[in-house]
Amino acid sequence: MCGIVGLFLKKDELRPRLGDMLTDMLITMTDRGPDSAGIAIYGDAAEGLKFTVQSDDPAAFDGLAEALEGALGTAIPVTLKDTHAVLLVPAEQQAAATELLEARGLRIMGVGEAMEIFKEVGLPKDVAERFGLREMGGSHGIGHTRMATESAVTTLGAHPFSTAEDQCLVHNGSLSNHNDMRRKLARKGVFTKTENDTEVGAAYISSRIAEGATLGEALEGTLKDLDGFFTFVTGTRNGFGVVRDPIACKPAVMAETDDYVAFASEYRAFADLPGIETARVWEPEPATVYFWER
C-alpha cells in the first residue's frame, strides 16, 4: 500500500497552518503505511541553501556548527530537529558543505532554497511529533506513509526522496524496471544512494529537468520510461505535480477550493480540511499529468 498526501496553498493566510493541516492528513493515512513516514515542506525561501541532514547518532551534530564555520569561513546556522538538522549554507559554498557533511557521516536528505525534508521509521504520529511538523509553515508540502515493498524499512528508504535542489518525490506503488533505469541513469552520471525504486523515479525526473525538460514533460516521460505501478506526487520550488500510471490501480483523489489544492490516497485524509464540504473533489485520470505552480 502506502499513503500519500499533498497540499498546495493558494492563499498566504493559510501558510502558518500548512504543517498542522498536512500532519492531520498524514496521520489519517497511518493504516496505509505504518512503518515510516516523511514530509517535504516548502517554507520561506532562504538567503542561501537549506541542507536537511540526518544522523541516527545525536553525537554527529556535536560541534557541527563550529566545524562548518571553520571549513567555510562563515557562521552557518544549524537548527536541530530530533535526528535531523537544517543548515543554512551560502549557495556558493554548496560543494564544500556537501563534502564536509558527507565526511562527517551525515546523510543529506535534501537541499533547496525552500524545501526541508524530515523522514523517519515509525508511526506517522510519532514521526510528526519528533520533528514538530505541526508547527511548520509554508506554501506547499507533500508527505508519505510507507508500507515497504521494494527495499528495507530504514530512514533512507522512507519517502520523500530528493535528488535535486528543491525537488522531491513520493510514490505509492512499485517500479519493475528500476534496476535497469538505475544503470541507465548511472551511465549519464546520475547516481542514487539507495536500492529503493522510488529514488530511481525521483532521479529520473530530476535528470530530465536538468536536461531541460519542464516538470510536465518530465512527468510525461515517466509514463513512457518507467514500468510498474505508480501514483507519483512530486514537489518543486513553486508547486507540485501528480501523475498515475496508465493502469491506475493505486488510489488517488484530489480536492480544490479557492484556498488550496489537496492530494491524498483516500478521501479520509481530506475530512478536516477547511471548506472540504464544498470543494471540487475528483479522481485524477490515469496517464495524465497534473501540476500546480505559483
Partner 1 sequence: MPTLDMSKTELREVNATLQAAAKAQANEPFEIINPRGSHAVAVGLNGPLDVTVKGSTGYYCAGMNKDATIHVEGSAGPGVAENMMSGTVVIDGDASQYAGATGHGGLLVIKGNASSRCGISMKGIDIVVHGSIGHMSAFMAQKGNLVVLGDAGDALGDSLYEARLFVRGSVKSLGADCVEKEMRPEHIEILADLLARAGADAKPEEFKRYGSARTLYNFNIDNADAY
Chain contacts with partner 1 (rule: CB under 8 A): 246, 248-249, 251, 253, 266-271, 277, 281-283, 285-286
Residue 58 CA to residue 38 CA, distance in Å, equals 19
Report the residue number, 121 or 289, with the smaller CB distance to partner 1: 289
Give whichever of 197 and 245 is closer to partner 1, judged by the CB atom. Answer: 245
By beta-carbon proximity to partner 1, the closer residue of 29 and 100 is 29
Burial (CB < 10 A; 0-12, 13-18, 19+), residue 82, is middle
Distance (Å, rounded) from C-alpha 263 to C-alpha 173?
16
Kindly list the catalytic residues: 2
Burial 47-77 (b: 16+ CB within 10 A, else e): ebbbbbbbbeeeebbeebbeebeeebeeebe
Q: Residue 21 Cβ, how far from partner 1 at the closest point, in Å?
A: 15
Min dist CB 264 to partner 1, Å, is 9
C-alpha cell at 42: 516548502
Please name which of 274, 292, 255, 284 lies closest in space to residue 18, comparing C-alpha atoms: 274
Q: Is-contact 274 16, C-beta < 8 A? A: no
Q: Are 191 and 182 in contact (CB under 8 A)?
A: no
- Residue whose CB is less far from partner 1, 60 or 252: 252
